[in-house]
Amino acid sequence: MVKVTFLGAGSAFAPKLSLDIFLIPGLSEGELYLVDIDEERLKLSYKTTQVIREKYGKDWRVFATTDRRKALPKSDFVINCIEVSGLETVRFDYEIPLKYGVDQCIGDTIGPGGIMKALRTVPPWVEILKDIEELAPEAIVLNYTNPMSIMTLTAFRVSSLKVVGLCHSVQGTSRKLAEYLNVPYEELRWQCAGINHMAWFTELRFKGEDMYPLLKKKVREDKELYEKDPVRFEVMLYFGYFVSESSGHLSEYLPYFRKRKELIERYCREGYKGESGFYARNWPKWRKECDLWRERVIKGEEEVKPERSYEYASQIIEGVMLDRPQVIYGNVLNKGFIANLPQDQVVEVACLVDGKGVTPTYFGELPPQCAALCRSNMAVYELTVEGILEKSYEKILQALLLDPLTSAVCSLEEAKRMLDELLEAEKEFVPSLK
């Protein structure tokens, strides 16, 4: 019998991933432990999951607790979706950098917002990893929490656990590309590798034909198509390949799109296409809407349809427990998988999943221009992880100074003042640095 422990079960991921697990063909029973320190949201999540279980996973048993140490023993899989002090700090992460000209759309994986989120999230993550090592050392740990690359790299630096970082950008973007090319998704052949939110589709083929010339031609000639993904299409036209993250989020990973007001107006659009402060303004509302949806499900006012999402968690559980081969894209430690990216840092590559576990596959070399853009962000991740583990103010500052968007906007002294203001505003939520 499989045991799955879900940390951060108050998150929006819990109902979706729980349903995915219940719908795994051939895995009809197991134990699902929901864990969250917010008792009210845990209750909501538990009741919602029980409604879903009653309909689609009757032979599963669901438990809820605020104490992860009660849930972890003998877990086969641990899913991590924690959020640390987000409601209290999301406005600081956006508004303080904006004073210094750093205009963020999402700001939770890179840039000043991503670094601050790392400062809040990595310390409890380290404690969670220690508990898993003690209580469930053989578990496969599936991390969904951002900042993805920083969280996953931390896990590899402080533990020997089997950890893989999971996102939905590769599978989501591949479907987008099929839509843009107007070809059946099942018949589109592609290869993709890089880092989280900057994985490059280095090959796009349909019936043996390279689709990139057609896609580039369509983008140049079709204004309506261009408007669907302006930043990603600009990057493709200049660097040659399409990237795995939304236009708005990608614009934060690069120095080209958000450093002046006229550039933001030219390339960025509403919502996930690059809207200023989109995440900071909407995230508290999204949390509330998630809770209201759960209440409707519990009351029977809304039905959950039996459809598996394309999130990878259930595919990994299915592959491992049933020895049913799957291919997923995971964030793993680079052990030669991408030859021209730094080794022993986190990369995102295709992984084979079967009864032996999650096995990353060899990709080779990225196009040099793509690798260079990845490396500019990997340096930020490395210094951020070192800074947090060593409690080093100097390394955190240097990480910020190397951030592509911050360095495109701020002087060295301005970036330091911004960091100092952020640390002061969030001192209740971040560790003291020396």
Beta-bridged to residue 162, according to DSSP, are 140
What single letter denotes the amino acid at residue 119? L
Please name which of 335, 4, 327, 18 lies closest in space to residue 142, comparing C-alpha atoms: 4
Vertex 86, ends 264 and 198: CA angle to 5°?
45
Instruction: Dump pLDDT digits (tens) for 71-106.
Output: 999 999 999 999 999 889 999 999 999 999 999 999
What is the pTM for the complete model shown?
0.97
Q: Both 57 and 202 in a single domain?
A: no
In the prediction, which pLDDT does 81 show? 97
Is 294 a member of any domain?
Answer: no
pLDDT tens string 108-137: 999 999 999 999 999 999 999 999 999 999
Sequential DSSP letters for 172-241: HHHHHHHHHHTS-GGGEEEEEEEETTEEEEEEEEETTEE-HHHHHHHHHH-HHHHHTSHHHHHHHHHHSS
Among 268, 285, 317, give the residue marking a domain's end: 317
Torsion region of 277: left, alpha or beta (phi above 0 gives left; psi -120 to 50 gives alpha)? left
285 band by pLDDT with thresholds 50, 70 and 90? very high
CB count in 10 Å sphere of residue 160 = 10
CB 69 within 8 A of CB 33: no
Banded pLDDT at 275 (limits 50, 70, 90)? very high
Q: What is the CATH number of the domain that holds 193?
A: 3.90.110.10
**In the prediction, which pLDDT does 86 show?**
84
Q: For the segment 172-208, what is each residue's pLDDT rounded down to a tens digit? A: 999 999 999 999 999 999 999 999 999 999 999 999 9
The pLDDT, as a whole number, for residue 427 is 97
Question: Do 307 and 429 belong to one domain?
Answer: no
**Residue 297, SS3 per DSSP:** helix
Question: According to the model, what pLDDT value does residue 93 have?
Answer: 98
Domain that holds residue 266: 90-111+169-276+326-434
Q: Which residues are catalytic?
A: 168
112, 430 Cβ separation under 8 angstroms: no
Residue 293 lies in a domain: no
pLDDT over threshold 90, residue 337: yes
**Does 407 lie in the same domain as 371?**
yes
Q: What percent of the chain has pLDDT over 90?
A: 98
Residue 95 shares a structural domain with residue 153: no
Q: Give a yes or no: residue 288 inside a domain.
A: no
Q: Is residue 387 part of a domain?
A: yes
Is residue 152 domain-shared with residue 204, that is, in the same domain? Answer: no
Mean predicted confidence (pLDDT) in 263-276 = 97
Q: How many domains does the chain have?
A: 2
Question: Are 69 and 152 part of one and the same domain?
Answer: yes
pLDDT digits (tens, 9 = 90+) for 216-246: 999 999 999 999 999 999 999 999 999 999 9
